[in-house]
């Protein structure tokens, strides 16, 4: 189970990760800045690789959780494949040199251009499309046929289980927009000859994010197995892979998230050779995002002001909701640590830690206990910011987005520059008044 401070600890009184002092990073890059620990990224990947040993498996990192090229390259070099949800992400993995046969493409709204790009990626297209509707299947078939190829696809099954997570990140109920219902999948399988450009080889699921129990997954796996048995009887050649999605939760505060080894055990038990005695083994894909990147990142920020109030103080920092939107969007909790350990000593008081953006929702923590010493110029680290952090950032209030830094073996490198003011207006232009209409002879 990954915790916020697994890879961010005090060494010689300074918050340190991968042997790098975060005070040093802040001094060189300025704040706010995202930092990621290479060790923290690689450890869960290795844990999953080990847990799935003995299976024909592929671990496809959910690019949307953290799509920096430096991170993608690091994970791909350690054996990860990639799970995408857009053409932009396809471009990113291409730039990072990811092998076509390790790429799956998910998402409910793939465009013709994105489908074409994925079919022409590498030598013969990506490993698979996770298809979310019959019209999408029809379009992929048509495009593949035009390109004189066949697209390997998995249908995304909506197993109608409640992931018991935040409604915004729950995706496996039949009222959600995601996936295809069981009856419809069977119908598609019966009429597969309507789709000459399609090679249906897999079934995928993804029931939600930040799952804190394996029970809904277990439920979904059972329904998936059941569906596959029925499909085997219908299809000319049996299903060859299942994609089990992502979604294993992490600890942000004190939630008890399932460990990755427990998760892998469930997969082994559900889809390992012992569980599938009657049929050929299935290749197993998983799409972890947050469980790899979540606790591998922190957002370093400096205190701009401590605004004293009778009721409670406001600690105003130089990071804002445009940099990390999770607290504003989901009300999510992030541990906030002082970079200098000595600043966290002594009496504490309840404060609100807020950004400079003109929205009351621009709040990272309310009624948080913080050392009274923390004041102007002090550095704080907002932990558990590696997933859905920078990738969800924007330029609201015309704020340049922060740089990203990778920490590895006692060294650190910029893997994305800080945006500057020029970046902020790139592509914008003044409206040109059309030349006077009178000259063209109109009244
Ligand atoms: C978002 C997403 C994931 C990753 O989810 P995490 O909770 O970050 O593990 C995996 N697969 C699909 C299809 C997704 O949309």
Residue 336 — φ and ψ, nearest 5°?
A: -125, 120
- The CA 103 to ligand 1 mean position distance, Å, reads 14
Q: What is the pLDDT of residue 440?
A: 56
Asked if residue 32 has its Cβ within 6 Å of ligand 1, the reply is no
Asked if residue 245 has its Cβ within 6 Å of ligand 1, the reply is yes
Q: What is the pLDDT of residue 276?
A: 85
Express as a percent the part of the chain with pLDDT over 90: 90
Q: Binning pLDDT at 50, 70 and 90, where does residue 177 land? A: confident
Inform me whether the pLDDT recorded for 437 exceeds 70: no
Asked if residue 106 has its Cβ within 6 Å of ligand 1, the reply is yes
- What DSSP string describes 258-314? PPHHHHHHHHHHHHSGGGGTTSPPPEEEE--SHHHHGGGEEEEEEEEEEE--SS-EE
Inform me whether the pLDDT recorded for 171 exceeds 90: no
DSSP at 289: S
pLDDT in tens, 269-328: 999 988 887 889 999 999 999 999 999 999 999 999 999 998 999 999 999 999 999 999
State the average pLDDT over residues 56-71.
Answer: 98
For the entire predicted model, the pTM comes to 0.95
Q: Torsion angle, CA of 375/14/4/291, rounded to 10 degrees?
A: 130
Q: Binning pLDDT at 50, 70 and 90, where does residue 442 land? A: low
Asked if residue 289 has its Cβ within 6 Å of ligand 1, the reply is yes
Nearest-atom number in ligand 1 for the CA of 287 is 10
Listed range (76-80, 171-175, 178-182, 272-276) with the worst mean pLDDT: 171-175
C-alpha of 36 from chain center = 14
Q: Binning pLDDT at 50, 70 and 90, where does residue 436 land? A: confident
Mode of pairing for the β-strands spanning 313-317 and 348-354: parallel
Q: Binning pLDDT at 50, 70 and 90, where does residue 404 land? A: very high
DSSP at 273: G
358 part of the active site:
yes
State the average pLDDT over residues 349-369.
Answer: 95
Question: Nearest Cα to 381, choosing from 295, 312, 307?
Answer: 295
Question: Nearest Cα to 65, choosing from 403, 293, 321?
Answer: 293
pLDDT in tens, 13-63: 999 999 999 999 999 999 999 999 999 999 999 999 999 999 999 999 999
Asked if residue 66 has its Cβ within 6 Å of ligand 1, the reply is no
Q: What is the pLDDT of residue 51?
A: 98
Average pLDDT, the chain: 95
Inform me whether the pLDDT recorded for 170 exceeds 80: no
User: Ligand 1, residues 61, 172, 287, 295: which to mutate, most atoms within 8 A of Cβ?
Assistant: 287
State the average pLDDT over residues 340-366.
Answer: 96
pLDDT in tens, 204-228: 999 999 999 999 999 999 999 999 9
d(CA 312, CA 339) in angstroms, rounded, equals 23
Q: Binning pLDDT at 50, 70 and 90, where does residue 439 land? A: low
Q: Torsion angle, CA of 286/76/293/205, rounded to 10 degrees?
A: -20
**168 or 418, greater pLDDT:** 418
């Amino acid at each position: 189970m990954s915790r916020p401070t697994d890879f961010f600890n005090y060494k010689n009184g300074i918050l340190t990760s991968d042997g790098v002092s975060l005070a040093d990073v802040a001094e060189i890059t300025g704040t706010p800045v995202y930092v990621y620990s290479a060790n923290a990224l690689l450890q869960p990947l290795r844990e999953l690789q080990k847990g799935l040993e003995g299976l024909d498996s592929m671990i496809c990192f959910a690019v949307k959780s953290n799509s920096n090229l430096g991170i993608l390259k690091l994970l791909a070099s350690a054996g990860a494949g990639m799970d995408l949800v857009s053409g932009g992400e396809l471009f990113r993995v291409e730039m990072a040199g990811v092998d076509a046969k390790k790429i799956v493409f998910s998402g409910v709204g793939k465009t013709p251009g994105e489908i074409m790009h994925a079919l022409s990626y590498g030598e013969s297209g990506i490993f698979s499309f996770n298809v979310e509707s019959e019209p999408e299947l029809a379009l992929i078939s048509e495009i593949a046929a035009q390109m004189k190829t066949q697209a390997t696809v998995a249908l995304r099954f909506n197993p109608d289980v409640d992931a018991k997570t935040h409604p915004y990140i729950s995706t496996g109920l039949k009222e959600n927009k995601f996936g295809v219902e069981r009856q419809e999948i069977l119908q598609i399988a019966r009429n597969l000859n309507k789709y000459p450009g399609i090679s249906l080889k897999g079934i995928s699921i993804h029931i939600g994010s930040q799952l804190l129990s394996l029970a809904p997954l277990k439920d979904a796996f059972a329904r998936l197995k059941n569906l596959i048995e029925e499909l085997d009887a219908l299809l000319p050649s049996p299903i060859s892979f299942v994609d089990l999605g992502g979604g294993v939760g992490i600890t942000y505060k004190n939630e008890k998230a399932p460990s990755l080894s427990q998760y892998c055990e469930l997969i082994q038990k559900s889809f390992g050779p012992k569980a599938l005695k009657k049929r050929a083994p299935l290749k197993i894909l998983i799409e972890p995002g947050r469980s790899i990147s979540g606790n591998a990142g922190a957002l370093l920020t400096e205190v701009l002001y401590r605004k004293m109030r009778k009721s409670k103080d406001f600690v105003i920092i130089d990071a804002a909701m445009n940099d990390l939107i999770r607290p504003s969007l989901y009300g999510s909790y992030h541990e906030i640590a002082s970079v200098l350990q000595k600043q966290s000593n002594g009496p504490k008081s309840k404060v609100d830690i807020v950004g400079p953006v003109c929205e009351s929702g621009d709040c990272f923590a309310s009624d948080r206990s913080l050392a009274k010493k923390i004041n102007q110029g002090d550095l704080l680290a907002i932990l558990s910011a590696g997933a859905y952090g920078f990738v969800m950032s924007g330029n609201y209030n015309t704020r340049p987005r922060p740089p990203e830094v990778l920490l590895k073996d006692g060294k650190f490198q910029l893997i994305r520059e800080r945006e500057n003011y020029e970046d902020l207006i790139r592509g914008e232009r003044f409206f040109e008044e059309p030349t006077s209409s009178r000259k063209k002879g109109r009244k």
